Structure 1
Amino acid sequence: MRILFTIPHYFNPSDRGKHGSQGKDPQPRIEAIAACITSLHRVFGKSQNSIDIARGAALPANQSQAHSIDIVICTTKDSHLLDRVPLPSHFYKHYRSKSEPQLLGFECQALLRDCIGSYEYFCYMEDDLILHDPWFFVKLQWFSNKAGDMCLLQPNRYEISSFEGNQKTYIDGNLAPQLTAKFQNLQEQPELAGQIMGTQVTFSRATNPHAGCYFLNVSQINHWTKQPYFLDRDTSFISPLESAATLGIMRAFRVYKPTPQNANFLEIEHFGSVWSERMLAM
């Protein structure tokens, strides 16, 4: 399978910065984007082997789930850290834009649209997200086959924190329904369920559909890009960052997430522990 990942990346230190992309120390951002890119190659790339000791050879492994992946990092002007990321240049492609920093997610949307016909999955990820699950796209395909392409499954985003022990915390909690009421009807098919490997899994309409990412199959990207609001650069959902990542898909699809009892069915790690430690300390 051919998969396209688009990743907005920005860094410009600021005394008033609220996000990691504006922090004074660039090292966490370097580590975050390096982990983001490396994980995609490790988990989904074709360079996976198994050592055959008897034959003294390395044999291909996991080829049924190895994919052809392209990673495009979208930046604006010179406000980035790619020249300091310790990765081979062939691990990704660099797309330079003149976009406003908070609107880089919309540049990624345009890239995805322009590549229709060349891939089977079209993905957007913020530059501090890390995928660990090799069955991630298998699960997405299973969900789409069961629920239909107008239902979009989003992963639960989590952090690992050392706060009072090694804790795993899902950070995108429920929002007040009125915050998304103008964009989605949560009463329409509020819950779905299915059996996988003999285990019941449940999914609910997401009061907080934001996960800093989305993963669309061919049918879904075609549907979204044909909508009159596609690439309208509407920033009315929380902030420009959340709007670029989430508003479009929330308007185009019924968005679901795995329920808390099986939250790890589909999940993605958020680099660091800033949000979880802030919430756990409350």
Structure 2
Amino acid sequence: MSDEDTLKRKAIHFIFFQIALLQEISRSVVRYIKMMLFYQKKSIIKLFQENELPQKERPKVFVAVAHITSVEESKNPEKGAAKIERLRHTIDGLLASFAHCDLSIAIQTLPNRHVTAYLPEYQTKCIQVQEYPECDPMFVGFRLQEEFVEKVEEFDWFLFIEDDIILSDAFTLEKLEKFNGQSGYENAVLYPNRYEMYQGTKRYIDLTIARQLLTNKLSSVEIEGVKFAEFNNPHSAFYCLSRKQMKHWIKSGRLFKNQIVDVGPLESAVTFCLLECFSIYKPHPSNLNYFEVRHYDSKYSKLYPEPESPYTLSAVDRSSNTAMVENS
């Protein structure tokens, strides 16, 4: 190799070295600038901080929980362990979802037919246990409606929930307000879709229990890209009415009170008796998860195990996983 070729190679190496050096210096400078901007962000936020937090009146929410156990379960925490666990989760869900509200929780039950004494102390301090010995256990759901009527001027919202339903949605009231104000139906009420978790899948049980799921296309409505519809099975074990809706219900005379309208007294109290006065909507199958509650059990999933149902969802492609196991 000639001296001229050697010089050319050295020159090329020098040029590429300089380019690499400049790139590294550039990366270091950019990294340093980003770090400086990051450290200055707190000072900028402090400089332009809001001096006052927005003052917003806290909604007043009254929740009535229908809760009945056997006498044996109420006297023995080991036998009542499952009922204690699900009631604890129901109350925690309420405390989390309505932490921004003035919340009152009443447990509607009967003497010696509840497990509230075994709840953690922080929960027993924030609930009121209401025992009504004259009430048929199957009709407790109707009895708690009377609490709503008596307190109609004291609260903004009235929520019925069974003791195995978990609400995990801090925007519940905002969703209800939007639906009530924009649905176009004065007597429409929004219910959540109810689901169970079973073997890693999410099953919208009220949509799989019915042999054929039907929605009312004529009365379906869309609000800001979210669709809602009337279903042939509107049950959710949950409803939440505004004060205006409660007054409308009271004014109607509540002719279905204490009446078994459909299925049984439990379902009639929480769902079907309201149909005398309201049209019940749920989020449309195209956006089921917009408003939902969890059933803290898997009994319906076991009774109606329909893995191919479009209302049984899984984040994992089980068919491909099965194929991988079989091929391994």
What's the CA shift string for 1:51-79, capped at 9, x where partnerless? xxxxxxxxxxxxxxx11100000111211
Partner of 1:191: 220
Partner of 1:222: 247
* Contact in 2 for aligned 1:258/1:266 (Cα 8 Å): yes
What's the CA shift string for 1:189-237, capped at 9, x where partnerless? 5211121xxxx21111121111111100011100111222356300131
**Structure 1 residue 281 displacement after superposition:** 6.0
Partner of 1:93: 128
Amino acid at match of 1:130: I
Q: Is structure 2 residue 71 aligned with structure 1 residue 71? A: no
**Structure 1 residue 81 displacement after superposition:** 0.9
Tell me, what secondary structure is at the counterpart of 2:273?
helix
Aligned length in residues? 239
Partner of 2:146: 110
1:158 corresponds, among 195, 200, 209, to 195
Separation in 2, partners of 1:231, 1:266: 27
Amino acid at match of 2:269: A
**Bigger shift: residues 126-135 or 82-91:** 82-91
In terms of fraction of residues, the more helix-rich structure is: 2
Partner of 1:6: 64
Separation in 2, partners of 1:231, 1:91: 32
TM-score (norm 2): 0.68
Tell me, what secondary structure is at the counterpart of 1:275?
helix
Amino acid at match of 1:150: N
**Structure 1 residue 123 displacement after superposition:** 0.7
TM-score (norm 1): 0.79
**Structure 1 residue 40 displacement after superposition:** 1.0
Separation in 1, partners of 2:94, 2:217: 34
**Structure 1 residue 38 displacement after superposition:** 1.3
* Contact in 2 for aligned 1:161/1:167 (Cα 8 Å): yes
Separation in 1, partners of 2:63, 2:203: 25
Partner of 1:243: 268
Matches within 5 A, 1:1-282: 1-12=59-70, 25-45=79-99, 66-88=100-122, 89-98=124-133, 99-147=135-183, 148-162=185-199, 166-173=200-207, 175=210, 189-195=218-224, 200-230=225-255, 232-280=257-305
Tell me, what secondary structure is at the counterpart of 1:172?
helix
**Structure 1 residue 109 displacement after superposition:** 0.3
Q: Which segments of 5 or more consecutive residues in structure 2 lack a partner in the other structure? A: 1-58, 73-77, 308-328
* Contact in 2 for aligned 1:149/1:220 (Cα 8 Å): no
Name the % identity.
26
Amino acid at match of 2:239: Y
Partner of 2:316: none
Separation in 2, partners of 1:249, 1:73: 21
* Contact in 2 for aligned 1:106/1:231 (Cα 8 Å): no
Taking structure 1 as reference, are residues 272 and 187 closer, same or farther at Cα in structure 2, changes over 3 Å only? Answer: closer
Q: Which segments of 5 or more consecutive residues in structure 1 lack a partner in the other structure? A: 15-23, 46-65, 178-185
**Bigger shift: residues 224-233 or 112-121:** 224-233
Separation in 2, partners of 1:176, 1:273: 19
Separation in 1, partners of 2:157, 2:167: 15
Taking structure 1 as reference, are residues 81 and 205 closer, same or farther at Cα in structure 2, changes over 3 Å only? Answer: same
Taking structure 1 as reference, are residues 250 and 188 closer, same or farther at Cα in structure 2, changes over 3 Å only? Answer: farther
Structure 1 or 2, whichever has the larger Rg, is 2
